[in-house]
Amino acid sequence: MAYARGRRGGHADNFWPGYVDVLSTLLLTTIFLMTLFMVAQFFVSQEASGKDTALKKLSRQISELTDMLSLEKGNKKTLEEQLASLTASLSASGAENKRLQGLVGIDEGKLTTAESHAALLKGDLDKQAALSAEAQAKVDLLNQQLLAVRQQIAALQAAVGAAEAKGKTDQATIADLGAKLNLALAKKVQELGQYRSEFFGRLNKLLAGRKDIQVVGDRFIFQAEVLFPSGSDQMNPDGLAALDPLATALTELEGQIPKEINWVLRVDGHTDVRPINSPAFKSNWELSSARAIAVVKFLISRGVSAQRLAAAGFGEFQPLDAGVGEEAYAKNRRIELKLTER
């Protein structure tokens, strides 16, 4: 009854087959692998982004130091030019001093001032040279760090390439497994179809000549009046007699179908559209479910394995005839049997 109530809101074909569980597991495995791959790519991208930022920072520092070095070199050149000019002036002054030594007194103050100025300029030039050497050392260090960052980026790119290649290989393997699984499922469905045809063919022979029992598509249909009194779930003697051949055929079939085929006989109860409200049943849902369960219990009592049976109630919501009238109502009050995969 619990199974039947769980199915009251469903449709006749909304039965969960076993191979969907396998496909769901395969799909979850695929999603898990793809998620791992995407997470790995995310962390690799984050690390590469961090390296790119460090690389840009180092490049900017190198550019600044290069500008400073150029500026210092320019200052050094200017100071060298001034020193050369002063040296030339000093030489000229010395020559002029010698020429005029006999004529005029040597201006000791000016000579001392020129020499002092030249000494100061030379000290500034030495300082600039020291600064330039320090800047060059910093540039060399930054170049080394830049080379190390580039090597790390190259290693990360190689790791990303390897991960992408592995992802493609895994996808190809998953596709191959999916194709094999679909082929195996199709084979099992085909085998079950063969046993279904044999089962319904045997029932047709056993119940030949009865207009109140018929085969529609892949379903075997008993009119409700054959099995139950009106508004009841207690089977009458005619119903028991009609279900005996079915129980016999099922027990024989159970021994023939291979164990690896996970099949089940689904018993569906249906009513007409007219509402019911009796002490036993408050709705057509309850009546249709109770009748399906009664058939399942009878088959179990005749030796059919309970794990090969399922009961479902659909009330008035799956009619065979949408018309209004006693003939349409009689068609819709029925018990359907369907051999399917679990």
Residue 234 included in any domain: yes
The whole domain housing 76 covers: 25-184
Residue 65 included in any domain: yes
Percentage of the chain modeled with pLDDT above 70: 74
The confidence band for 14, taking pLDDT boundaries of 50, 70 and 90, is low
Most confident of 74-83, 89-98, 216-225, 306-315: 306-315
Q: Distance between CA 4 and CA 315 in Å, rounded?
A: 11
Residue 150 included in any domain: yes
Q: Distance between CA 283 and CA 260 in Å, rounded?
A: 39
* 37 and 160 share one domain: yes
Q: Distance between CA 246 and CA 115 in Å, rounded?
A: 129
Average pLDDT over residues 204-219: 67
- Of 184, 205, 227, the domain-final residue: 184
Cβ atoms of 90 and 114 within 8 Å: the answer is: yes
**β-pairing verdict for 309-313 and 213-216:** unpaired
Cβ atoms of 328 and 21 within 8 Å: the answer is: no
Mean pLDDT of the chain: 77
Residue 18 included in any domain: no
Q: What is the pLDDT of residues 119-165, one digit of tens each?
A: 776 676 677 666 667 777 777 777 777 777 778 777 777 777 777 77
Q: What is the pLDDT of residues 159-191, one digit of tens each?
A: 777 777 777 776 777 766 666 666 555 555 555
* 154 and 239 share one domain: no
* 234 and 285 share one domain: yes
CB within 8 Å of 73: residues ≥ 6 apart: 132
The CA–CA distances, whole Å, from 245 to 47, 192, 202, 239, 270 equal 72, 21, 9, 11, 22
3 state DSSP class of 204:
helix
* 101 and 80 share one domain: yes
Residue written as tokens 């045809």?
Answer: 197
Residue 20 included in any domain: no
Average pLDDT over residues 55-62: 78
Q: What is the pLDDT of residue 268?
A: 97
Q: What is the pLDDT of residue 152?
A: 77
The CA–CA distances, whole Å, from 121 to 37, 128, 163, 206, 308 equal 66, 11, 63, 125, 108
| 104 token code pair | 């005029």
Q: What is the pLDDT of residue 176?
A: 65
The confidence band for 262, taking pLDDT boundaries of 50, 70 and 90, is confident
CATH of residue 303? 3.30.1330.60
Cβ atoms of 341 and 17 within 8 Å: the answer is: yes
- How many folded domains does the chain comprise? 2
Cβ atoms of 315 and 11 within 8 Å: the answer is: no
Residue 17 included in any domain: no
Q: What is the pLDDT of residue 208?
A: 55
* 162 and 210 share one domain: no
